[in-house]
Copies of this chain bind each other. A is one copy, B any other.
Amino acid sequence: MENKKENFSEWYNEIITLAELSDKRYPVKGMNVWLPYGWKIMSLIDSIVRRAVDKRNFQEVNFPILIGRSMLEVEFEHIRGFENEIYWVTKGGKEKLEEELALRPTSESAMYPMFSLWIRSHADLPLKIYQIVSVYRYETKHTRSFIRIREIHFFEAHTAHATYEDAEAQMDQYKEIWREISSLLCLPYFYDQRPDWDKFPGAMYTIAFDTVLPSGRSLQIGTIHQYGTNFSKNYDIKYLKEDGTFDYAHQTTYGMSERLLAAIIGIHGDDKGLVLPPDVAPIQVIIIPIPGAGVMEYARDVENTLNSINIRVKVDDRENYTPGYKFNDWEMRGVPLRIEIGEREVKNRTLTISMRNIQGKLTIERSKLIYEVPDTLIRIREKMMENAQKVFKDHVFRATKLEEFNRDGLITAFWCGSKECSDKIEAETEKSVLGFMVDSSETGKCVVCGKNGKMAVFSRSY
């Protein structure tokens, strides 16, 4: 296998192929096939997202994929931001369509004409919906699995509120949701407020969740947007207030994509292969029988016990492979916990366990299985987060002058907020601004012009 540290890009591509996550050989350029193992991981990520939003009263919907050109053109900034990367359907059968239809690049323009019908009075607010669908971008840049592709597995939440304050409270709730999700996926991040020229087309402001891959390049893995009334004014989303007057709704959105999987692969993997957070591992526990008397029965019994407490477990009962081959195979696929069972374990009523991300083997009592396994999975997750945070920290560098920008990673520095200074940084260092750090209140002199500035983050980004 490629060396992750030295050839990150090659390592990344190789592990996706070896672990059978997706197949890039599909004949349409920039579109990949989700293979069973990759799709299962993605579905488990989706489940975590669903749980986090469902319990906060979001409702799942599913909007059509096609959006009429006239629907898209309602919000000028919005269409301008996407027009170069939209796939257009122009024919049905052999007929030319009356109106060209876009494959959704995102769903504002599909949803908001319906919001306009659904929202009549304050009693209809807040409206909180989401969908998990594919979105489409005619990318002209170099594509990369799960990071930059033309068909993107996408989560998008959309809300409408009576007041700006309610919409701001929703922005806070998004952060709470993200904390919950990111802790299960073991992903460290910065909150960055994108500069105006890089915010979502049509938004008042955009906050991104940025992480960093071992290549030193940043990866945007989530964004939340405050729309204010920018869209509601254009799509005529009004509600009757208690005092009998009308007002426009205040809106927000939250977007994430299969980049969550890219981050998991890139941040946690090692030279043996994937390392999966237990909550998204299709197989959390792999049982490897070392052939011997009573071993298979014992293994099946352990499997049944773990099944009964909803652990995703599998016995590798393949006959033509050695235990050593199986160890490597499941390590490569990132299974968090391995249980070895041989005659000794059967005799002693014990189990030998190994964690994917922590060296060494442990012996546990068979009788304590239902406590030890869930506890160990939590320990694995905590250790993954700890490691990831350490690596993240190792990739963040504070700079006080431009020369210090020339290293791989995230650079934090004071910045005045001007496009001129950001352009100068980009020209001289190939790093562009991700935005002001939302969680920092530090102030200081801009690293370029020396005027008053706030703490910002810069990087080469994917």
Contact = CB atoms under 8 A, between A and B. Distances in A.
Given A35-B61, A129-B36, A93 B101 contact: no
Given A28-B68, A32-B64, A114-B25, A83 B90 contact: no
A122 interface: no
Interface string A86-100: 111111111100001
Contacts of A26: 63-64, 110, 113-114
A151 B66 CA distance: 9
Given A35-B61, A65-B136, A84-B93, 18 more contacts: A23-B117, A26-B63, A27-B68, A27-B71, A28-B68, A31-B64, A34-B63, A36-B129, A39-B62, A66-B151, A84-B94, A85-B92, A86-B93, A87-B101, A88-B91, A89-B90, A90-B91, A93-B140
Most buried by B among A35, A64, A68, A85: A64
A385 interface: no
Contacts of A264: none
Copies, count: 2
B62 A40 contact: no
A66 B25 contact: no
The listed residue with most B CB atoms (<10 A of its CB), out of A39, A89, A110, is: A89
Nearest to A95: B138
A60 interface: yes
Interface string A131-157: 000101010100000000001010000
A68 B31 CA distance: 11
A288 interface: no
A67 interface: yes
